[in-house]
């Protein structure tokens, strides 16, 4: 592997990135910025066309960066996998969703591996970055690549390096987020470390691919479990008449032993709602029940139903039912200041309210159109007249662009799931805030279980 080492050190290697989504595109451009030539491969021709036009479809990637890399000859894009024949390293950044039965769908990884196997050659590094269950690299990718007759650690190297992209994060990006690498052999780890250290500020080696795979799952399971805990705490605080946000902020003054997490309408995005299921699925096959993961998924999955109940309770104050009421959703992206709607709890809230007969519309400055129930919805204008015409406003994503004071002042009823109205106490009579201790919804009970569409079914009981 001496020739490959030299190419990395001299930065004259050619890299390929398979999958040009929110992980692959920033990675490809970061590699190109370090002086490497990069070939981006994606089966979505619309992405290829947009990139060749210098158009960015990723919020964290500027068009200037794309056009600059292309003009310098460092970045080309294609849907033709034969480009792998002439590259020195391949990074797999394809989606890893869950199937309808909530089992891991690694078909994209397997398809990419088959293409790589076809063009695999000596002095080449292959790295999987897609999140998956522990053992995927060893058990699935390695046998396929070894079937080429090339020797692992001698002729080619294989490693896993989990992506750690946080969309919308202005402080941490691909370059300054520490990178974990674990190879099949010590040589594989060493070669992967050398490659990433050319364009990542800090690279950390671990002992195996399975360890590196587990690192990613721990990170997101940690968040899922803690969000589940604080969501349940919000329901407790509603029962006890305590403001959960005041409790969390006070606890956060402790300089050690506490990390603040905040409640919300449910989990969203590609990672946190999905990744823990990869770990639970793998452990189930080994006759081990991941109880914390299951409980967190249950609690987080029921939050859209909790929000729907709060809407119903709020409308009851005006002698209105959900059926026939006009409800405006503020924010459908899974987190603030991004356009990503994958697994967004807003979709479940909208479906549940629609099923109950509400007239549902939405506004999101980052999401102009939205597919729901085979229909395409358009973001409505956030005018004072439109706000005043609504029976209820639900704050599901607290985008920074929103002027909440203006919105609340024009509203009849607001259900706040993000603590966006914390400084608007003068309007408290028209605000119902999740976990604020002034609501009539209580913790779950086993009776009358509503269905959280797309997530687990969970109970919700109202106080009487």
Task: Report pLDDT for 438.
Answer: 66
Give yes or no: 271 in active site: yes
d(CA 115, CA 124): 14
Task: Report pLDDT for 284.
Answer: 87
Task: Report pLDDT for 399.
Answer: 96
Task: Report pLDDT for 281.
Answer: 87
Do the beta carbons of residue 202 and residue 172 sit within 8 Å? no
Set out the domains of the chain in order of their start, with CATH numbers.
Answer: 2-210 (3.40.50.720), 224-433 (3.40.50.720)
- Weakly modelled stretches of the chain, pLDDT under 70: 438-464
Q: What is the pLDDT of residues 251-268, one digit of tens each?
A: 999 999 999 999 999 988
**Tokens representing residue 204 in the block:** 């950390």
Task: Report pLDDT for 442.
Answer: 42
d(CA 399, CA 215): 30
Global confidence as pTM: 0.87
- What is the side-by-side order of every strand in the sheet holding 75-78? 75-78, 37-41, 14-18, 89-92, 124-128, 156-160, 179-183, 203-205
Look at strands 369-372 and 375-378 and give their pairing: antiparallel
Q: What is the pLDDT of residues 178-189, one digit of tens each?
A: 999 999 999 999
Task: Report pLDDT for 458.
Answer: 36
d(CA 293, CA 290): 6
Do the beta carbons of residue 171 and residue 178 sit within 8 Å? no
Cβ within 8 Å of residue 166, ≥6 positions away: 172, 177
Task: Report pLDDT for 460.
Answer: 36
Task: Report pLDDT for 464.
Answer: 31
Q: Which long-range contacts (CB under 8 A, 24 or more apart) does 240-248 make?
A: 240/437, 241/437, 241/438, 242/437, 243/435, 243/436, 243/437, 244/435, 244/436, 244/437, 245/419, 245/422, 245/435, 245/436
d(CA 266, CA 284): 25
Q: Which of 93, 188, 271, 392 is catalytic?
A: 271
Nearest alpha carbon to residue 417 among 282, 283, 305: 305
Task: Report pLDDT for 277.
Answer: 85
- Other beta carbons within 10 Å of 168: 15
Burial of 371 (0-12, 13-18, 19+ CB in 10 A): exposed
């Amino acid at each position: 592997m001496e020739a490959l080492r030299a190419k990395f050190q001299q930065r004259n290697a050619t890299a390929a990135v398979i999958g040009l989504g929110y992980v692959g595109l920033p990675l490809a451009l970061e590699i190109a910025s370090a002086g490497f030539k990069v070939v981006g491969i994606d089966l979505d021709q619309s992405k290829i066309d947009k990139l060749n036009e210098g158009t960015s479809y990723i919020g964290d990637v500027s068009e200037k960066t794309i056009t600059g890399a292309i003009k310098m000859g460092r970045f080309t894009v294609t849907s033709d996998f034969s480009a792998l024949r002439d590259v020195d390293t391949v990074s797999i950044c394809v989606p890893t969703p869950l199937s309808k039965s909530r089992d891991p769908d690694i078909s994209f990884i397997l398809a990419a591996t088959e293409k790589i196997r076809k063009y695999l050659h000596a002095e080449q590094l292959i790295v999987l970055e897609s999140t998956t269950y522990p053992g995927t690299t060893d058990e699935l990718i390695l046998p396929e690549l070894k079937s080429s007759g090339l020797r692992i650690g001698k002729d080619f190297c294989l490693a896993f390096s989990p992506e750690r992209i946080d969309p919308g994060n202005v402080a941490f990006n691909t370059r300054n987020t520490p990178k974990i690498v674990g190879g099949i052999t010590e040589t594989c780890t060493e070669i992967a470390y050398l490659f990433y250290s050319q364009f990542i500020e800090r690279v950390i080696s671990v002992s195996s691919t399975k360890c590196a795979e587990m690192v990613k799952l721990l990170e997101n399971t940690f968040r899922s479990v803690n969000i589940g805990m604080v969501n349940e705490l919000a329901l407790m605080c509603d029962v006890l008449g305590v403001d959960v946000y005041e409790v969390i902020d006070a606890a956060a003054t402790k300089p050690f032993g506490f990390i603040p997490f905040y409640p919300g309408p449910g989990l969203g995005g590609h990672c946190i709602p999905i990744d823990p299921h990869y770990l639970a699925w793998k452990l189930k096959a080994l006759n081990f029940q991941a109880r914390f993961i299951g409980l967190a998924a249950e609690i987080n999955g029921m939050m859209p139903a909790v929000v729907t109940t709060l809407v119903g309770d709020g409308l009851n104050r005006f002698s209105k039912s959900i059926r026939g009421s006009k409800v405006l959703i503020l924010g459908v992206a899974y987190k603030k200041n991004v356009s990503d709607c994958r697994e967004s709890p807003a979709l479940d809230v909208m479906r549940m309210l629609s099923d109950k007969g509400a007239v549902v519309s939405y506004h999101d400055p980052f999401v102009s159109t939205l597919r729901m129930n085979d229909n395409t919805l358009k973001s409505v204008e956030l005018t004072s007249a439109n706000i005043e015409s609504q029976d209820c406003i639900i704050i599901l994503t607290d985008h920074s662009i929103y002027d909440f004071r203006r919105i609340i002042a024009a509203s009849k009823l607001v259900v706040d799931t993000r603590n966006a109205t914390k400084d608007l106490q003068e309007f408290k009579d028209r605000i119902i805030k999740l976990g604020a201790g002034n609501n009539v919804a209580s913790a779950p009970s086993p009776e009358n279980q509503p269905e959280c569409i797309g997530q687990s079914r969970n109970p919700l009981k109202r106080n009487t």
